[in-house]
Amino acid sequence: MQSFQTELENPLVEKDIIELEQKIRAFKEGSISEEKFRSLRLARGVYGQRQQGVQMVRIKLPYGKMSFAQWKKLADVTDEYSTGNLHLTTRQDIQLHFVSLDRTPEMWTALDKDDLTIREACGNTVRNVTGSDMAGIDSEEPFDITPYAHAIFEYFLRKPVGQEMGRKFKIAVSSSEKDSALVFMHDLGIIPRIKKINGKQVRGFKVVIGGGLGAQPFLAKTTHEFLEEELLLPYIETVLRVFDRHGERNSRHKARIKFLIHQIGIDAFNELVAVEHKAITDKKVAIDTNRFENISLPTGILPDEKIQINNPLNFEIWKRTNVKKQKQEEYFAVYVRVPNGNISSHVSRRLIEKLKPVIADDVRVTITQNLQFRFIKAEHLEYVYSVLEAESLAAPGFGSAADIVSCPGTDTCNLGISSSTGLSIVLSQLIEDEFPEFLVDENIAIRISGCMNSCGQHGIAGIGFHGSSMKVKDKVIPAVQVLIGGGNLGGGEARVANKVIKLASKRAPDAVRVLLNDFKNNQQQNETYLDYTFNKGEKYFYDLLKPLANAETLLAEDFIDWGQAEKFATAIGVGECAGVMIDLVSTLIFEADEKISLADESLANKAFADSIYQTYAAFINAAKALLLNHSVQCNTQIGILNDFDKNFTDKGLYTNHGNFKELVLQINKNEPTEEFAKKYLQEAKDFIVFASEFKEKTILN
């Protein structure tokens, strides 16, 4: 590979990209282990695919917002480096598939020119901040959460505390008590509120923490009914510091913050968070809301071409289901159902060109893998519909049972067991053809994941499916686990769906028919599907679907998955959604030295808190290296400190300091001053010298 050159205005981004190119080259030359390289590229949004030799690249869109220029750049980039497709995700990212690893630095350079980043889009980092798609135009919002979501994104991007945690950390921001961002299923979520304090209207947030789906779903717990706005960013930072230090690192399946809170209890967790407050630089952070007040409104000048609507009846249904009134007088938002979240570069460019006169330069990707256009006047709705209809994107039923969320599943993901995208298309068509009355009903959400990890959010669905397999005699068939009864209660509260029964994948449409017909026939007046499933109970739905589980009536087609032509076979690879563990002694010593270099750099730039945290990470890496060299397994950072004293200090192997844990935990007992940063850094340098010498002696002996 040739040396890579960039011409970017942002030196931080330029440094990131050059480093990625250098690490790719080192990996190809064999001087960096696969495990180390995987961790680095994941933190740069580069993710392994099911198909060998190509990557998925994830691009962060904070709270789903993109400008016309960014959308066009994404279309150009997917044509140049990917397949011409943009995949919209449930975390409001854009994913490109089948990207060559060697070309990712070049691609990142192109993206950055329109202020798009892949930094921390994957790996054990603070992931993309998701937000309500109605933010800024929601008639029920106490205030616009857009500046706060953006501030979270900016504040924690490249923050040392969020680079190498035990697991990923997901944040969501809702615009109102309706909780359309689903904060209850996130590591941390906030809902805006206004409180009268000393006669003044004060902005703040309800804060919930410790939610998550996956194989073991947890609903988030409330830590604050009202946290004042200027305390928000400092509070999140202290939470991250506790998670980084106390979170599990050995078993990734138990490493999310929800497991830490479940293990020690929310009260103990809150106490640990309070201890960290002294160590952070910013005790209060004022968030600038003015920068988001200027809205780039459309000109409203339509092209001369005649408006053509082929299906007037569909247009009327579409207006009822896909058009929402904004809080701004005379303006509407339009939602576009994007099947499986996939939209081509060519369609994207045509939509930009044709819709630019009538929509704001502010397009939102929704958490349901759709698009939202805003600031549209009533007289332009017919034109917008005609443009969408010409692109086969005018399907009504946004938010309905037909608007199905699904992850890529076996199309590209290593962990996919059975097809989610193929089933999604079939079920969506089934609703439209057989149950059109449900197109105007937002009470039932159908969500599909290719495995139990819930990227398709099946765990909170009214009707959910996750990919699985079943052994029938001597054969394996594609299957789905059916879940019933999940949903959003508002205010940060929810119900998790119950696992009901496992069925052959090809019988999922029959299951939906049975469930919807049952609801139609037995629903009480004004009873929602969420209430109906709660009132009926899990056993009721098991009995209802049990006939579909009869293996004796399986047909030959049931042994072939949706969208496939060949006999089903499970082919599960190693998932990368959780990052990786790095357990090589030499690699850890090397990483400790890297952290010291970063700490020196931060100190020179007077970023004292960053320098201190990088110094802390150097201590941890070096201590972990020596413990692993002694065959002592390390689960948490706090465990490393305890184990080091037990195995080294107490046995007289380390005598430079009376208590290693006390030495390292100076980090949360001191203000982040220049004096402390210098002292702490020198102590870490001395320790790494000791660690390197001790390791060499061990090898020689």
- Residue predicted with more confidence, 311 or 294: 311
pLDDT tens, position by position, 675-684: 999 999 999 9
Which tens digits make up the pLDDT trace of 210-265? 999 988 899 999 999 999 999 999 999 999 999 999 999 888 788 999 999 999 99
CA 303 to chain centre: 39
pLDDT level of residue 7 (50, 70, 90 thresholds) = low
What's the mean pLDDT in 456-477?
88
pLDDT reported for residue 444: 94
pLDDT band at 661 (very low <50, low <70, confident <90, very high): very high
Average pLDDT, the chain: 91
Q: In the predicted model, is pLDDT for residue 404 greater than 50?
A: yes
Residues 6+ apart with CB under 8 A from 582: 35, 36, 39, 588, 591
Q: For 348-398, how does the pLDDT look when each residue is reduced to its tens digit (9 = 90+)?
A: 999 999 999 999 999 999 999 999 999 999 999 999 999 999 999 999 999
Picking from 157-161, 298-302, 542-546, 566-570, which range would have the lowest pLDDT averaged per residue? 566-570
Section 449-477 average pLDDT: 88
Instruction: Give the pLDDT score at 565.
Output: 60
Distance of CA 588 to the CA centre of its chain: 28
135: left (phi over 0), alpha (psi -120 to 50) or beta: beta
Distance CA 365, CA 370 (A): 6
Nearest to 227 by CA among 172, 278, 189, 265: 189
pLDDT at 8: 64
Please tell me which of 85-94, 440-449, 452-461 the model is most confident about, judged by mean pLDDT.
Answer: 85-94
Asked if residue 31 has pLDDT above 80, the reply is: no
Which band of pLDDT confidence, cut at 50, 70 and 90, is reported for residue 2? Answer: very low
Given a cut of 50, whether residue 582 has pLDDT beyond it is no
Q: Quickly state the pLDDT bin for 274 (edges 50, 70, 90).
A: very high
> What is the DSSP code string of 59-109?
EB-GGGEE-HHHHHHHHHHHHHHS-SEEEE-TTS-EEEEEE-GGGHHHHHH
Q: Is the pLDDT of residue 580 over 50?
A: no
Average pLDDT over residues 308-318: 93
- The mean pLDDT value for 588-592 works out to 87
Task: Report, as an integer, the average pLDDT of 131-153.
Answer: 97
- pLDDT at res. 569: 57
Q: Is pLDDT of 630 > 70?
A: yes
Q: What is the pTM of this model?
A: 0.91
Residues 6+ apart with CB under 8 A from 604: none
pLDDT above 50 for 3: no
Q: Percent of the chain scored above 90 by pLDDT?
A: 71
The yes-or-no verdict on residue 87 having pLDDT over 70 is yes
Mean pLDDT of 88-105: 93
Range 273-294 average pLDDT: 93
Q: Which of 279, 289, 188 is nearest to 236 (CA)?
A: 188
In angstroms, the CA 444 to CA 427 distance is 13
Please list the alpha-helical segments (H only) found in 468-607: 508-522, 529-536, 538-545, 585-604
How high is the pLDDT of residue 240? 98
> In which band, very low, low, confident or very high, does the pLDDT at 696 lie, cut at 50, 70 and 90?
confident
The pLDDT value recorded for residue 123 is 87
Of 157-171, 327-341, 461-475, 677-691, the least confident = 461-475
Query: For 638-658, what is each residue's pLDDT tens digit?
Result: 999 999 999 999 999 999 998
Q: For residue range 55-82, what is the model confidence (pLDDT) as tens digits?
A: 899 999 999 999 999 999 999 999 999 9
Set out the domains of the chain in order of their start, with CATH numbers. 11-112 (3.90.480.20), 130-291 (3.30.413.10), 296-390 (3.90.480.10), 405-559 (3.30.413.10), 585-700 (1.20.120.330)
DSSP helix/strand/coil, 303: coil
pLDDT band at 699 (very low <50, low <70, confident <90, very high): low
